[in-house]
Amino acid sequence: MKTRVTEMLGIEHPIIQGGMMAVGLAELAAAVSNAGGLGILTALTQPTPEDLRREIARCREMTDNPFGVNLTLLPTINPVPYDEYVQVIIDEGITVVETAGRSPEQYMEAFNNAGVKVIHKCTSVRHALKAEAIGCAAASVDGFECAGHPGEDDVPNLVLLPCAVSRLRIPVIASGGIGDGRGLAAALALGAEGVNMGTRFVATREAPVHHNVKQMMVESSELDTALIFRTLRNTARIYKNSIAKEVLSIEGKPGDTDFSELQPLVAGARGRERVLEQGDTDDGVWTAGLVMGLIDDIPSCAELVSRIVAEAEDIIENRLQSMLQRA
Each residue of 82-112: pLDDT tens digit?
A: 999 999 999 999 999 999 999 999 999 999 9
Instruction: Note whether residue 309 is domain-resident.
Output: no
Residues paired with residue 72 on neighbouring β-strands, in sequence order: 100
Distance between CA atoms of 71 and 32, rounded to whole angstroms?
18
Strand-pairing partners, residue 17, are 197
The reply to whether 240 and 108 lie within a common domain is no
Cβ 99 vs Cβ 90: under 8 Å: no
**Claim to verify: residue 278 and residue 187 sit in the same structural domain:** no
Same domain for 178 and 143: yes
Task: Give the mean model confidence (pLDDT) for residues 63-85.
Answer: 92
Reported pTM: 0.95
Question: Residue 264 is part of which domain span?
Answer: 225-287
Q: Are residues 204 and 229 in the same domain?
A: no
Please check whether residues 146 and 114 belong to one and the same domain: yes
140, β-bridge pairs: 121, 173
Q: Is 138 in the same domain as 263? A: no
Q: Specify the pLDDT at position 75.
A: 76
Q: What amino acid is encoded at 244 in this protein?
A: A
Residues 60 and 184 in one domain: yes
* 327, pLDDT greater than 70: no
In a domain, 293, yes or no: no
Give CA–CA dist 165/191, Å, rounded.
6
- pLDDT score recorded for residue 69: 98
Whether 219 is covered by a domain: the verdict is no
The answer on 245 and 190 residing in a single domain is no
CA atoms of 276 and 58, how far apart (whole Å): 21
Predicted local confidence at residue 240, as pLDDT: 98
Residue 310's pLDDT band (cuts 50, 70, 90): very high
User: Are 48 and 149 contained in the same domain?
Assistant: yes
| Whether 244 and 198 share a structural domain | no
The mean per-residue pLDDT over the stretch 316-322 comes to: 90
184 inside domain: yes
- DSSP for 203-256 reads TSTTSSS-HHHHHHHHH--TT-EEEE-GGGT--EEEE-SHHHHHHHHHHTSSS-
Instruction: Mark whether 18 and 43 lie in a shared domain.
Output: yes
Q: What is the mean pLDDT of residues 9-21?
A: 97
Q: How many domains does the chain have?
A: 2
Q: Is residue 220 part of a domain?
A: no
pLDDT tens, residue by residue, 266-277:
988 899 999 999
User: For residue 316, is it within any domain?
Assistant: no
124 and 188 housed in the same domain: yes
Evaluate whether residue 80 is within a structural domain: yes
- Checking if the pLDDT of 77 tops 90, the result is no
